[in-house]
Amino acid sequence: MTFRVGLVGCGSIAAELEDLLRAVPGYFLFPYGHATLVARHPRTELVAIADPDPRRREAIGDRFNVAARFADHHALLESVPVDIVAVAAPTRFHARIAIDAAHAGVKGLFLEKPVAETLRDVDAMIAACTAAGTATVVNHFRSFDPLWRRAAQLVQSGEVGRLTGITAVWVDGVADGGSHLLDYLRVMTGARVTWVQAFTQGAARHVDPGGTFILGLDSDIRVTVHMEWGSKAPPQVDVFGTAGMVRLGNFQVQRWRFEEVADRVVPVEVPFPGRHDGRSAMTVALDELLDAIEYGTRPVSTLEDGRDVLGITLAVLEAGRTGCRVDLPFIDLDAAARAES
């Protein structure tokens, strides 16, 4: 079966960002755009697009040969039968689009992150999707990256021993880039964040601040995140255990075992048992959404997981604002995390 997809939002993450990344030496996780993904995937077809900006709408329509072009998602949903809606508009519009699509009876939603700005919006999205039986997947791309998945399995299988801590150097704001990391930490550790302390910075210049924050997990370990706005440093996650450590970078994972050598315990680098299989994270995410629609399986990152990520994001922002530790779950349904787009 071929799934008919409607794309709402024809901006950067539709195709432009992928065009940019293709010019970066060594970058190979493609497709990395909703239009490029759907157009190339053997089981999907891009049948309609919506964007209020005629320039961007026409650019995507012409490039991907889509005749059905609309200024908003209402017109798209009313005019063209679609199985899946890809929600790639700015974050503040995600809830309205997702809820209307679920009410219109679409089978699946491919949602951009952050899933929404407030927990109240996400709760309304979850209610609409649950009532309509709409499957969801969220483009937290580290959680779907085959190499990072393999690293998560390795950690869960006890290869580094008992986890003792995690440090991460990350990019962009807490709500924006941070959502990828926060979701991946859940996938890798299987643990929940129970408290947060934070020093945030950059809010004056940026809607979505960066900063340094500590997450306390219910497995009794701490995650320290350093996220400097404007930094061009590649992301890195170091996972420490009693028996070794794993270091995740963009396209590589390194591994060390702590071994006794001449009466001293030293880190000895050992090969990582796995390579990137070349599939892009978005391809894996779309495959999992199609499986969810056809077989009722659960994608690794769903709207419910996006809610957890937003709750942690809001706690980090609150802790940064107040200078106080914030315990989770975060309960202010109307506090907003605003990302750049």
Ligand X SMILES: NC(=O)c1ccc[n+]([C@@H]2O[C@H](COP(=O)([O-])OP(=O)(O)OC[C@H]3O[C@@H](n4cnc5c(N)ncnc54)[C@H](O)[C@@H]3O)[C@@H](O)[C@H]2O)c1
Q: Under the rule (CB under 6 A), what is the footprint of ligand X?
A: 8-13, 17, 50-53, 56, 72-73, 88-91, 93, 112-113, 139, 141, 176, 339, 341
User: ω into residue 31 within 30 of 0, thus cis?
Assistant: yes
CB of 187 to ligand X, least distance (A): 15
Name which of 76 and 221 has its Cβ closer to ligand X.
76
| CA proximity to 209, closest of 102, 23, 339, 310 | 339
CB of 131 to ligand X, least distance (A): 23
Name which of 71 and 268 has its Cβ closer to ligand X.
71
Cβ-contact 316, 209 below 8 angstroms: no
Name which of 91 and 118 has its Cβ closer to ligand X.
91
Cβ-contact 109, 136 below 8 angstroms: yes
CB of 177 to ligand X, least distance (A): 8
CB of 243 to ligand X, least distance (A): 33
Q: Which residue is nearest to ligand X (CB)?
A: 11
Q: Dig out the tokens for 20 from the structure.
A: 């940019």
Integer Cα distance of 94 and 100 in angstroms: 10
Cβ-contact 138, 302 below 8 angstroms: yes
CB of 106 to ligand X, least distance (A): 15
CB of 69 to ligand X, least distance (A): 12
Work out whether strand 193-201 and strand 326-327 pair parallel, antiparallel, or are unpaired.
Answer: antiparallel
Stated as kind and residue range, the H or E segment containing 331 is: none
Name which of 253 and 337 has its Cβ closer to ligand X.
337
Q: Dig out the tokens for 146 from the structure.
A: 């085959």
Cβ-contact 6, 80 below 8 angstroms: yes
Name which of 91 and 189 has its Cβ closer to ligand X.
91
Count of residues making up the chain? 341
Name which of 36 and 197 has its Cβ closer to ligand X.
36
Compute the chain's Rg from CA coordinates. Answer: 20
CB of 282 to ligand X, least distance (A): 8
Name which of 155 and 181 has its Cβ closer to ligand X.
181
Cβ-contact 328, 195 below 8 angstroms: yes
Give the Cα-Cα-Cα angle 112, 115, 118 (nearest 5 degrees). 155
